[in-house]
Every structure is written in structure tokens, then in C-alpha cells.
């Protein structure tokens, strides 16, 4: 899989589809995060072109941030976007990394951010990455997750099925993503020590954004 071919057009692709709803979903819990425990070290996985990173850096000026993405072109676009906005990137580490094989330091990050990332993979790969990220989290970490979903019934379900069939066909073609349908990411995450704390949906329930907190006992 590689998003490098479309890194420079990614923002445009969003804009002509459901860009506003995607942005709303990414930023849904920023206020809640800002009101909660201090974020010291955030890990942004598959961050792409910086749509979340830019507002996050502005909202959390004291946080150390690690950005991992498989695509060097996406990382470049994100860095250029921060530079254009005049953001000091001294506290941000950008690293090209494949999360299917990446080893992470244990207990390091108190915020994990995975936005429209897991829907690129099948369920077993999602489980493997989720467990890796869980062990890289502090015992009181929070986790911000947004992705696509198919509502249970009604016209919203049909609408989401049509949208997702088109989006999966497009991204399989231009970015060679391995997935063919949305994996059960929420169920996988809820089987870990992270539990949902606040949730919102967007775009006729086709997008969800959930903030999880780690439920550490002992
Ligand atoms: C659909 S884009 C989402 C980007 C961004 N998070 C957003 O909200 O728009 C998926 C991102 O995950 C990255 N990615 C795909 N496979 C990856 C992997 N195995 N390891 C790390 N990043 C990966 C891609 O390069 C791309 O930037």
C-alpha cells in the first residue's frame, strides 16, 4: 500500500467528497481532550497530510508529538503545511514507519491518535496494530479513533454502503490498500484495556469519532 502517489491531491479529494464531515470527525474531541488530563506525548499514527496535526499543535502547545506514517510524501506534505502556518516543529518527530512491523517503546505515549487509518486493513492486521499501540501507551492513556462505519439499518445504511463501495474501489486502485470493507476496529479496541468515553457520529452515521480512556486496574 502507498498513499505517496496521491499525497499532494489528498486534500482536494477530500474537499470534493465529504471533507467537512471528515474534518469535524477528526476534531470532535479536541475540547474534551484539552479539558482532561495533560497530554505530554501524543503518538499520531497514519496522520497523512496533517489535517489533525496542525490544529492539534496549535491547541496543545506543550505536547511532544510523534508522527508516524508509511508514506514519505504524506509526511512531507504535513511538514510543509506546518511550516506554512508558522508552527515551530522542534517538539514534533516525523518518522516514516510501517505500523504492520514497527516496534514501539513500551508505556511511552499518553495519547494515541488513529484517524481514518484502520479502515485500510483487515481485522487481523488491525488487532495486531492495536495491541502494539496498547503496549506503547501509558497506564492512563487516551485514544482518539475515527473511521468509517456502516449504520445498522435504514437509508443511512444503504447510503453508507454505496459511499464505501466507491471509496474502497477508489483507494484500492490509487493507493493499493489491502482492505475491501471496514474492519471491526471498535470491537477490537474495546477488547483491550481502553474503554469508550465519548462518541459522536457524522455524515448520516457513516463516520464515527470516539475518545477512549485506558481502564487500568491495579
Ligand atoms: C486514509 S489516510 C488517513 C490520513 C489521515 N489520518 C486522515 O485523517 O485523513 C491513511 C494514512 O495511513 C498511512 N498508512 C497506510 N498504511 C500504513 C502503515 N502500514 N503504517 C503507517 N502508516 C500507514 C498512509 O500513508 C496515509 O497517510
3-state SS assignment for residue 196: strand
Dist. CA 21–CA 202, nearest whole Å: 6
Measured between alpha carbons, how far is 96 from 61 in angstroms, rounded to an integer? 23
Give 72-97 pLDDT, tens digit per residue: 999 999 999 999 999 999 999 999 99
Q: How far is the CA of 44 from the centre of ligand 1 (A)?
A: 10
Beta strands 137-148 and 207-214 are antiparallel
CA R_g for the chain: 16
Distance 218 CA to ligand 1 centre (A): 34
Tell me how far the alpha carbon of residue 217 lies from the centroid of ligand 1, in angstroms: 32
Q: Are 83 and 92 in contact (CB under 8 A)?
A: no
- Is residue 1 within 6 Å of ligand 1 at its C-beta? yes
Domain count, the chain: 1
Residue identifier of the C-alpha nearest atom 27 of ligand 1: 48
- Check pocket membership of 96 for ligand 1, CB cut-off 6 A: no
CATH of the domain at 79: 3.40.50.150
Give the pLDDT confidence of 143-163 residue by residue, as tens digits: 999 999 999 999 999 999 999
Q: In this structure, what C-alpha cell is assigned to residue 206?
A: 457513516
Tell me if 114 CB under 6 Å of ligand 1: no
Structural domain boundaries, residue 10: 4-214
**Which residue's C-alpha comes closest to atom 8 of ligand 1?**
115
Task: Identify which of 94, 89, 83, 2 has the alpha carbon closest to the alpha carbon of residue 44.
Answer: 94
How many C-beta atoms lie closer than 10 Å to residue 109's C-beta? 25
What are residue 42's DSSP bridge partners? 65, 111
Please state, for a pLDDT cut of 90, what percent of the chain lies above it.
92
| pTM as predicted | 0.96
Amino acid at each position: 500500500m502507498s498513499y505517496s502517489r496521491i499525497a499532494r491531491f489528498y486534500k482536494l479529494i477530500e474537499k470534493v467528497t465529504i471533507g467537512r464531515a471528515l474534518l469535524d470527525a477528526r476534531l470532535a474531541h479536541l475540547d474534551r481532550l484539552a479539558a482532561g488530563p495533560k497530554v505530554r506525548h501524543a503518538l499520531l499514527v497514519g496522520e497523512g497530510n496533517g489535517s489533525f496535526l496542525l490544529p492539534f499543535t496549535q491547541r496543545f502547545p506543550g505536547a511532544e508529538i510523534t508522527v508516524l506514517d508509511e508514506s514519505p510524501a504524506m509526511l512531507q506534505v504535513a511538514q510543509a503545511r506546518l511550516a506554512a502556518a508558522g508552527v515551530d516543529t522542534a517538539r514534533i518527530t516525523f518518522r516514516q514507519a510501517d505500523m504492520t512491523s514497527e516496534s514501539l517503546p513500551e508505556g511511552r505515549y499518553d495519547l494515541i491518535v488513529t484517524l481514518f487509518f484502520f479502515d485500510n486493513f483487515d481485522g487481523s492486521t488491525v488487532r495486531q496494530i492495536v495491541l502494539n499501540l496498547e503496549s506503547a501507551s501509558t497506564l492512563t492513556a487516551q485514544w482518539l479513533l475515527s473511521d468509517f462505519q456502516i449504520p445498522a439499518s435504514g437509508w443511512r445504511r444503504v447510503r453508507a454502503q454505496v459511499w464505501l463501495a466507491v471509496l474502497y474501489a477508489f483507494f484500492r486502485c490509487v493507493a493499493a490498500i489491502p482492505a475491501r470493507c471496514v474492519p471491526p476496529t471498535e470491537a477490537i479496541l474495546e477488547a483491550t484495556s481502553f474503554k469508550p468515553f465519548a462518541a459522536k457520529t457524522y455524515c448520516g452515521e457513516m463516520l464515527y469519532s470516539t475518545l477512549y480512556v485506558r481502564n487500568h486496574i491495579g
